[in-house]
Structure 1
Amino acid sequence: MALKDYTEEQLKEISMIEVTFELLTEKNSPEDYSVLINRVAEIQGLSKERMQERIAHLYTAMSLDGRFVNLGDNRWALRSWYPFEQTEEELSQMMPKKRKADAEEALEDELEEYDEFEDIEDELDELANEEDSDTDEADEFDTGEPVVEEDDETDTDEEEETN
């Protein structure tokens, strides 16, 4: 039954969730929650105070009612508009983000890139310091005499000749 088929008294008596369902059914597209609550208040003749009292109640009722789905960014739609297999995460990704959110996300990405370069610089500095300390340690053990390396094969050949 469409909203226009109800009498004024019936509109005041039916629940806010039913009015919201009818609004979305008639519009046949997702809607912002603030627009929905304002339209419901207008249709049911609610005062501003009464509307403020009922905002959380309607939001909770919509969240629990299986006919509605939250698309993210405070936008609501009817679940029947989407395939059953489609998860809520997929639905919220379908909605385009606002430009302000895009700008904030770009700034966040830029800061992350800066942090990554800073981390790489820190790692390179640590490696350079380790190499410097390795060279310093090698200098401490340097006595100035040439290093003679022993050949293991020569020792085994001499042992075989004596046997």
Structure 2
Amino acid sequence: MLDQYSREELKGKSMLGLASLILKDTKKALDFQELYNQITELKGLTKQAKENQIAQFYTELNVDGRFITLGSNIWGLKEWYPIDQADEQITQTPKKRKKKKADEFDEEEELEYEGDLVELGEEEVDEDGEIVGIDEFDEDFDEDLDEEDEEELDVEIDLDDEEEE
């Protein structure tokens, strides 16, 4: 099919037009890089021109309705593939994993946290009626914080008074 065009006619064709002709001529889907190299060779592009145009060509190939990707960057003509066949080639059926039985999962969870469970609102109380885990130091510390907060308030008030003067 490419043989019927002169070198000048091929250079004048668009990259997408050449891609279509190359695919029809080879009668098989091609890797993107292989297809692009054949196109740039026919157009006589320099290495710099190849690098500058590859992204634009890839975008146009994706958008153009004549072409289809078959996965792994292999491109063919959409007219070659019925819709169902193309989906089958690119879609792999996900493998189903065996799920654990709900009972087994729940037992594992219960075993991990069994010793740490304490319901909200329940506290352990010792023989004297004191809550376990709270010692007197914590209470004294809270009182100290209250006194420090009051001192900070006094300092802030003093600073405000000095600014007004």
TM-score range, shorter chain: 0.5 to 0.7
| Per-residue Cα deviation, 1:26-55 (whole angstroms, up to 9, x for no partner) | 111111000011111111111111111111
> What value does the CA root-mean-square deviation take over the aligned residues?
3.3
Distance 2:20 2:76 in 1: 9
Equivalent residues, number: 112
Q: Which amino acid aligns with 1:76?
A: W
- Partner residue, 2:84: 86
The two structures have a TM-score, normalised by structure 1, of 0.57
Partner of 2:155: none
Instruction: Check 1:130–1:10 CA distance in 2 against 1; reply closer, same or farther (3 A cut).
Output: closer
Structure-2 residue corresponding to 1:9: 8
| 1:107-132 deviation line (CA, Å, top 9, x unaligned) | xxxxx99xx99xxx996554225555
Between the aligned partners of 1:41 and 1:34, the Cα distance in structure 2 is 10
Query: 1:128 aligned to 2:111?
Result: yes
Gaps of 5+ in 1: 95-111, 135-139, 141-163
Q: How does 1:24-43 map to 2 (within 5 A)?
A: 24-43=23-42
**How many angstroms apart in 1 are the aligned matches of 2:40 and 2:30?**
15
CA 19–124 in structure 1, closer or farther in 2 if over 3 Å, else same: same
TM-score in terms of structure 2 length = 0.56
CA distance in 2, matches of 1:52, 1:133: 63
Which amino acid counterpart does residue 61 of structure 1 have in structure 2?
Answer: E
Percentage of matched positions with identical amino acids:
32
Corresponding letter in the other structure for 1:127: E
> What is the rounded CA distance, in whole Å, between the counterparts of 1:24 and 1:64 in structure 2?
17
* Per-residue deviation, residues 78-122 of structure 1 (Å, max 9, x unmatched): 011111x4275434138xxxxxxxxxxxxxxxxx99xx99xxx99
CA distance in structure 2 between the partners assigned to 1:65 and 1:126 by the alignment: 53
Tell me which amino acid in the other structure corresponds to 1:66: G
